[in-house]
Amino acid sequence: MPAKRFECPKCGFAVEAESEEEVIKHVKMHGKEHHPDFKMSEKELKQRIK
């Protein structure tokens, strides 16, 4: 299965994982730690996963 990838639109942080769920988990942790005021819905997040 090809890896899923997400790149943060605020800072360029990128995460790659085997599943969309794993990517979402890491992106949410990154967001809470580095961009607590930036909100992105789960739908928007999923649209940015490649």
Which residues form the domain of 36? Answer: 4-48
- Tracing tokens 């990128």 back to the chain, one arrives at 14
The number of distinct structural domains making up the chain is 1
Compute how many other C-beta atoms are within 10 angstroms of the C-beta atom of residue 12: 7
Quote the pLDDT of residue 2: 78
Q: What are 13-32's pLDDT values in tens digits? A: 999 999 999 999 999 999 99
pTM: 0.85
Q: What are 33-49's pLDDT values in tens digits? A: 999 999 899 999 999 99
Q: Which amino acid is at 40?
A: M
